[in-house]
């Protein structure tokens, strides 16, 4: 259960997709002066060294963030600004995880609640956020801990749910938790990351959300090659509940280009669609 370390995968194509969506939502929340909460159920270490032994073992960043040249993506200026903020030079050694990206866009009045169960990554997350008074780090089951935080006092929140899905029942756990969370806090923005290793678990999770009664659900998926059955991650997606009104337009423009740049075969594809409407 605690074997997954994101340090082996930092900066890959799935991170690129997740963090582009994350930044668009955070920028939307920051347009109003009112405080908001950022809740991350599977926060990881927070910051990753792309020259580390773990990152160099798979070198997934070379087929992800390394393929994007900032000057060619003016619409991703904020994304690259955040990445640059964690690097002293133009050589990109460090890649920020979702918590550090969120903290870079949050204001003084906003708060972050970060869950991480892996003992080593929990320690690194504490270290990487120790100087930030806006943050509380908890070594707890993030799906269970999330429910205890809802509704937040701010009544505005982005909840990021991105487990490793190493366990077969995690897709079901995620959909069940979201339905419970939505009943407590229907006004939150829920961003659910998922990998496509086998298609059936993803479809079951999507179906559970479609029939749950939850409204305003959008899906954004990036596949770098054709689906397989259990032969590694071929695609990744983000399901967003209560998305900003700008998100669909932005992702519909970006995803075709991302597929073109990041794909590894001619069967690559993208999806930007509405699972449930108003």
The residues that are catalytic are 162
Contact residues for 190 (Cβ-Cβ < 8 A; gap 6+): 159, 161, 178, 181, 182, 239, 240, 241, 242
Which segments of the chain does DSSP mark as H helices, in order? Answer: 13-29, 53-58, 77-85, 98-105, 119-129, 142-149, 170-184, 199-210, 247-262
The answer to whether the beta carbons of residues 124 and 46 sit under 8 Å apart is yes
Diameter of the chain measured on Cα atoms:
49
- Cα separation, 124 vs 64, in Å, equals 23
Contact residues for 97 (Cβ-Cβ < 8 A; gap 6+): 6, 10, 43, 44, 45, 46, 47, 48
Q: What is the DSSP string of 104-127?
A: HH--TT-EEEEE---HHHHHHHHH
The answer to whether the beta carbons of residues 171 and 204 sit under 8 Å apart is yes
């Amino acid at each position: 259960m605690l074997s997954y370390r994101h340090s082996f995968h930092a900066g890959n194509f799935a991170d690129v997709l997740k963090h582009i969506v994350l930044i668009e939502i955070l920028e939307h929340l920051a347009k109003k002066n009112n405080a908001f909460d950022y809740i991350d159920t599977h926060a990881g270490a927070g910051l990753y060294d792309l020259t580390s032994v773990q990152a160099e073992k798979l070198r997934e960043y070379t087929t992800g963030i390394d393929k994007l040249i900032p000057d060619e993506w003016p619409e991703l200026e904020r994304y690259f600004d955040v990445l640059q903020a964690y690097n002293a030079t133009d050589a990109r050694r460090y890649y920020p995880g979702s918590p550090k990206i969120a903290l870079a866009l949050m204001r003084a009045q906003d708060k972050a609640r970060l869950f991480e169960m892996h003992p080593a990554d929990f320690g690194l997350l504490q270290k990487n956020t120790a100087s930030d008074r806006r943050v509380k780090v908890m070594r707890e089951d993030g799906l269970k801990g999330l429910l205890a935080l809802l509704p937040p006092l701010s009544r505005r929140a982005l909840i990021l749910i991105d487990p490793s899905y190493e366990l077969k029942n995690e897709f079901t756990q995620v959909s069940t938790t979201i339905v419970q969370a939505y009943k407590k806090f229907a006004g939150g923005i829920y961003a659910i990351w998922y990998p496509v290793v086998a298609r059936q678990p993803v479809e079951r999770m999507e179906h559970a959300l479609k029939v749950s009664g939850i409204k305003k659900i959008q899906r954004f998926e990036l596949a770098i090659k054709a689906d397989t059955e259990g032969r590694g991650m071929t695609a990744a997606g983000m399901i967003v509940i209560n998305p900003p009104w700008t998100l669909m337009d932005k992702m519909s423009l970006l995803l075709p280009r991302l597929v073109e740049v990041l794909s590894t075969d001619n069967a690559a594809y993208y999806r930007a669609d509405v699972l449930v409407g108003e």
